[in-house]
Amino acid sequence: MVAKGKGILAADESSGTCEKRFQSVGVDCTEESRRAYRGLLFGTPGIEQFLSGVILFDETARQKADDGATFPAYLAKKGIIPGIKVDKGTVDIPLAPGEKVTEGLDGLSKRLDEYFKMGCRFAKWRAVITIGKNIPTHSCLYANAHALARYAAACQAASIVPMIEPEVLLDGEHTIERCEEVTEATLRATYAAIAAYNVFPEFLILKTSMVVSGKGNPRQAGPGEVAERTLRVLKRTVPAAQPGIVFLSGGQSDESATAHLSAMAATKGLPWPLTFSYSRALQNPALNTWRGEAGNVAAAQKAFHHRARMNSLACQGKWRPELEKQAA
């Protein structure tokens, strides 16, 4: 999953999220249009050079590529590891205004056994932490950390690699200092629970948000500062025994997500490889080019290939802005 020069495509948007993304480019969101779009991404010629894995949504894991293979089998044939989103989304935490906890633990072991049979070899669970006035609270961090750890233990028992994703949202006017403090508290709570539930760090992938300025804060930190603060937090909290760390893009611009990753990956002496596991920052240009038209498929694939290649360079610390202009 963290092989050199490769990263992970998050294509596990729920049908509701997919609807929002499709609406933004005027595409009807149906089972078939979702299948066609995912088929476009996975079928991009040469994409396996840059992707070690793809995270699928339940519906997609049961759909077929144009050649008749199920999507997990299709990806595996290309040497890409199929993964699966197994959480069931977030709900409000009672007595904790503005805070969410992720559901999906009931019946999880059974679902994992089925996903393993379908060919999925890693799974994802996303927890959402919001920064605001007096939040996150201890109860929010605690509830989400325990859910993540219980999910991770269930995955390891089912021979599926857990990818734990505690996402600190970038929405808000908070400073980067506040984001650093909250990210550290979130990861401390998460890893305390990981240890409490006997989860093996050796078979665990962290998918984390980066430490960035709140979207609405007038002072936007540059890549050097984002890298320094993010790495400080990760070094303080993530066991060196872990095989790797991947990042979500979280609503950053495509190029910022790439620049931030490259700045971090260029840092020498880290105990783990770092790479991308982006949804929006990999897919935006492809979706905007496709717009639901069969005639745009080749151009959309080219746009997707370009972003994947830029992020492949970034996870080796080799991306530079001028490379954006260079054809493959």
Q: Is 205 in the site for ligand 13P (CB under 6 A)?
A: no
- Nearer to ligand 13P (CB atom), residue 24 or residue 326: 24
Q: Is 279 in the site for ligand 13P (CB under 6 A)?
A: yes
DSSP state of 139: H
Q: Is 190 in the site for ligand 13P (CB under 6 A)?
A: no
Distances (CA, A) of 242 to 7, 121, 196, 299, 314: 16, 17, 16, 38, 21
- Nearer to ligand 13P (CB atom), residue 57 or residue 134: 57
Member of 154, 221, 248, 263 binding ligand 13P (CB under 6 A): 248
Q: Is 235 a catalytic residue?
A: no
| DSSP result, 256-288 | HHHHHHHHHHT-TT-SS-EEEEESHHHHHHHHH
Report the 10 Å Cβ neighbour count for 107. Answer: 9
Pick the catalytic residue: 165, 167, 180, 184? 165
Member of 213, 242, 249, 289 binding ligand 13P (CB under 6 A): 249
Report the 10 Å Cβ neighbour count for 67. Answer: 10
Q: Is 278 in the site for ligand 13P (CB under 6 A)?
A: yes
Q: Is 47 in the site for ligand 13P (CB under 6 A)?
A: no
Assign 3-state DSSP to the chain and report helix, strand, coil percentages, each to 5.
Answer: 45, 15, 35
Parallel, antiparallel or unpaired: strands 51-56 and 161-168:
unpaired
Least distance in angstroms from the C-beta of 12 to ligand 13P = 6
Tell me how far apart the alpha carbons of residues 181 and 189 are, in angstroms, rounded to a whole number.
12
Q: Is 166 in the site for ligand 13P (CB under 6 A)?
A: no
- Nearer to ligand 13P (CB atom), residue 82 or residue 250: 250
Tell me how far apart the alpha carbons of residues 259 and 253 are, in angstroms, rounded to a whole number.
10
Q: Is 103 a catalytic residue?
A: no
Q: Is 281 in the site for ligand 13P (CB under 6 A)?
A: yes
- Nearer to ligand 13P (CB atom), residue 67 or residue 171: 171
Residues that bind ligand 13P (CB under 6 A): 10, 126, 165, 248-250, 278-281
Give the catalytic positions in this structure: 165, 207
